[in-house]
């Protein structure tokens, strides 16, 4: 049975990857068409959400989100999640209940379709051509968060090669502190098994996205940055080690892939 499953995965993977690109073209084009009707980026985020749901369905990823009751529609946040797979981004966009934006290298904003969506949805381009431009880009991110946008980041900076949690970089934590908004630790479980780094053959399976209790950054000053990083990492690491199952919900609100 295991051998048959492996064969089916590799037979389906070319079609899954083709569908991934097709969904990107279709939903990014729709995002561009909707942009003149809504410059706030809300319609574009709706396109991103459905783009990611289509991707999840095409690779048979069964996504469950736990802990949405810990979030408030009246508060914006900086979501910080572990990163082990290309599926992490669809998992966040598809089912987190409130809108957010992301940071990306500026050159990605010029890629056809995906880049067009990044621009029109109001995401944050980071110009890394020199230190002054990078600082200006990060200042725009902080101002955007202060204006009410939420931000989602992977503080590890890159995908983990083995699913284990890597070192957290300081940049996103400084942004959250200077913007004065809470950090939400988000633990993504299962994506490294579905599509590990270096693989192009997505496997079907379950993904759990566990939303932790927001951490109030106003309780920390800049000299306590390492403590804030450690507190965020501790939540994600403990949840990764514990795993997740329906039996652990204890009344938590669950958003499932339907």
State the CATH number of the domain containing residue 72.
3.40.1130
What is the DSSP secondary structure assignment for residue 59, as one 8-state letter? T
- pLDDT value for 28: 87
- Residue from 102, 98, 95 nearest 208 by CA: 95
pLDDT of residue 184: 98
SS3 81: strand
pLDDT at 10: 66
Q: What is the pLDDT of residues 64-97, one digit of tens each?
A: 999 999 999 999 999 999 999 999 999 999 889 8
pLDDT of residue 113: 84
Tally the domains of the chain: 1
Count of C-beta atoms within a 10 Å radius of residue 19: 16
Sequence-distant (≥ 6) Cβ neighbours of residue 160 within 8 angstroms: 82, 83, 84, 166, 192, 197
Domain that holds residue 226: 2-256
Listed as ranges, residues in the chain with pLDDT below 50 are 246-247, 249-258
Pull the structure tokens for residue 147.
């204006």
Cα 70 from Cα 88, distance rounded (Å)? 20
pLDDT for 141: 97
Q: Is the pTM of this model over 0.85?
A: yes
Predicted local confidence at residue 9, as pLDDT: 66
Range list of H helices, the chain: 2-34, 42-58, 88-95, 114-120, 131-146, 171-179, 191-194, 225-242
**pLDDT digits 0-9 by tens, 61-70:** 999 999 999 9
User: What is the end-to-end Cα distance of the chain in Å, rounded?
Assistant: 27
Q: What is the structure's pLDDT at 251? A: 38
């Amino acid at each position: 049975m295991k051998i048959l499953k492996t064969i089916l995965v590799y037979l389906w993977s070319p079609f899954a990857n083709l569908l991934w690109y097709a969904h990107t073209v279709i939903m990014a084009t729709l995002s561009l068409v909707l942009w003149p009707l809504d410059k706030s980026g809300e319609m574009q985020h709706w396109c991103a959400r459905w783009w990611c749901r289509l991707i999840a369905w095409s690779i048979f990823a069964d996504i469950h989100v736990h802990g949405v009751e810990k979030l408030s529609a009246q508060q914006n946040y900086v979501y910080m999640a572990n990163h082990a797979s290309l599926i992490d981004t669809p998992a966040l966009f598809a089912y987190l209940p409130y809108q957010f934006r992301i940071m990306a290298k500026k050159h990605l904003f010029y890629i056809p379709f995906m880049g067009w969506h990044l621009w029109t949805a109001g995401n944050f381009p980071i110009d890394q051509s020199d230190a002054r431009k990078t600082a200006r880009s990060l200042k725009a991110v902080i101002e955007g968060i202060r204006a009410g946008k939420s931000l989602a980041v992977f503080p590890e900076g890159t995908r983990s090669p083995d699913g284990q949690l890597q070192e957290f970089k300081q940049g996103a934590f400084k942004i959250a502190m200077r913007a004065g908004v809470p950090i939400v630790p988000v633990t993504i479980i299962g994506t490294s098994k579905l599509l590990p780094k270096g693989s192009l053959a997505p496997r079907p399976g379950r993904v759990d996205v566990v939303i932790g209790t927001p951490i109030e950054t106003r309780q920390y000053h800049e000299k306590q940055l390492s403590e804030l990083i450690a507190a965020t990492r501790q939540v994600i690491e403990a949840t990764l080690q514990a795993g997740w199952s329906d039996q652990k919900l204890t009344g938590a609100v669950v958003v499932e892939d339907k």
